Amino acid sequence: MPADGKRKTILPGPRQGRVTVPSSKSIAHRELIAAVLSGVEEPKIRGTSKDIEATRRCLAAMQAGDPVWPCGESGSTLRFLTPLAGVMGWKGRFQCEGRLAERPQMPFERKSRYVVPGNVSSQFVSGLLMALPLADWDSEIVVEGALQSAAYVALTEATLRAAGLKFEKPAAGHWKIPGHQRYQIAGGRTVEGDWSQAAFFLAMDGVTVDGLDAHSLQGDRAVLELLGKSVVDAGPVPDLIPALAAHAAGREGCSQFINCGRLRLKESDRLESTAAMINAVGGEARIEGDTLIVQGVKRLRGGEVQTMGDHRIAMSAAVLACRAEGPIIVDDATVVAKSYPAFWEDFEQLEREEP
């Protein structure tokens, strides 16, 4: 059990007000890498997180020639920087924490053609796309099957274009990349707000979220269309499922979240931990294969949520509290530091109505 200082009691009732979310974690990783490789000032990032700091630490260690690269629990850091280390010939090892070492990885090899299964993380494709322009050889990437979370690869493509890097895309899931290129991104670029983090506040219904780009390439911008939808495909938006499921738990009707298999490979088995979270506070959730089924109820009773070390479960508990009659206790509120350290501060400044 965590120490008492980690536990948090969330009072029940709807919330109203405004919040400004931090910069996009997904874009910040990419822009930090591009800035280091360009030799310019790093991007302007509103807020920080353990994951962003992991990328900063690893890049600094690699540049300094240190043999240990501490990537914490950040899958983006590990998967983006593995191909880069291989192309650049940097020698060292990644130091992983939590479940990161158990999550799927893809070792880098020096070759001209890379075949990536479409059902694995898009981070593998993004890592190759960022590294291969620097190689001493021309290369191509081919995705076999439908690419999951394709919008995240679109973010990588946008960063490459901004850095002046060239690539061809003959077809979806196929890239041809000339080698011998160099990054030339402008220094001090501003990173837009994070739609993934905004999802938790948007799922509360009464909260206005500032700092977002309505025309963003972030795939999780789809949260606006998916809130209240009875069937959601988790494939393109896996990080939204805990927030969407929490929203569905306190709304009458049945919701199905299909294609959730990859949620099992997150900081927790996020399919199991999301269902357990909802059931623990008086909701009704069950798992059938890779589908999460949530039968909404008029009002949740409250109770204790086990975060299982997962930041998105902790933040989803706040969404559940907005639809609860009694308090919700989070066993470890500190896990939000992985992606959104100021989450509880932002949440607590919202106006609460009595349930």
- Known catalytic residues? 239
Residue 115 dihedral angles phi and psi, to the nearest 5°: -110, 125
Close Cβ partners of 289 (under 8 Å, ≥ 6 residues apart): none
Residue among 234, 261, 229 at smallest CA distance from 248: 229
Q: Taking the CA of residue 351 as centre, how many other CA atoms within 13 Å lie in the half-sphere pointing to its CB?
A: 7
Residue with tokens 């909701």: 283
Residue 270 dihedral angles phi and psi, to the nearest 5°: -70, -20
Alpha helical stretches, state H, the chain = 25-38, 50-64, 75-88, 123-131, 150-162, 195-202, 223-226, 241-249, 270-280, 311-321, 343-348
> Whole-angstrom Cα distance, residue 273 to residue 309?
10
Asked if 286 and 293 count as a contact pair (C-beta separation under 8 A), the reply is yes
Close Cβ partners of 330 (under 8 Å, ≥ 6 residues apart): 7, 8, 9, 10, 304, 305, 307, 314, 317
> Whole-angstrom Cα distance, residue 350 to residue 301?
21
Residue among 194, 175, 72 at smallest CA distance from 122: 175
